[in-house]
Amino acid sequence: MDFRQEFIAFALEQDVLRFGKFKTKAGRLSPYFFNAGLFNDGASLDRLSQFYAKAILASGLAVNTLFGPAYKGIPLVAASALALARAGRNLPFAFNRKEIKDHGEGGGIIGAPLTGRVLIVDDVISAGTSVRESVELIRAAGATPCGVVIALDRMERGNGDTSAVQEVEQEYAIPVVAVATLDDLMTYLRERPEFKEHQSAVAVYRQEYGVEYAH
């Protein structure tokens, strides 16, 4: 089983990925729900970070620094840096404060200086606001945003005909690397008869709201 399929199995096991009827922010009724905030203990964060490390290494992206946008990106970037170091790739990391501090070490960035090619580490991309703020911070520091890594790409249309991930890729000319995508979830469900009912529901939803990616 490749790491993407392993990740889907892990998300289901942790109840981070659930099936049922869930209303999305866009007001759509989705047959599945993914909440990365539920990777909320030491063991699950450790395992999650290993998947992030695998996705980053598999992407082949040239990266000098990792950046985690506050708040969700903070534990993710720290844990991913640890997992990458264990895999033999030691990278500096940083994250931002929501409020600029004017005493002590001051400033809005904590950790390593933002230099070279900076990879943004986040949970998901919905409206792309977090990415926009991160790109601005990285550029303001004189560094270059080189990509975004997220846990799951729902591969569904935003306001137009493109997905939130495609919008980010087009607007900033940077790749988005997902540990797993909706296509990976579909593959996982297709291969398991016990998920037949959910596979049908997800397929119908994909047909209605999904976006095809060029390979």
| Nearest in space to 113 (alpha carbons), one of 149, 140, 132, 131 | 140
| Nearest in space to 172 (alpha carbons), one of 147, 150, 153 | 147
- By annotation, the residues acting in catalysis are 101, 103
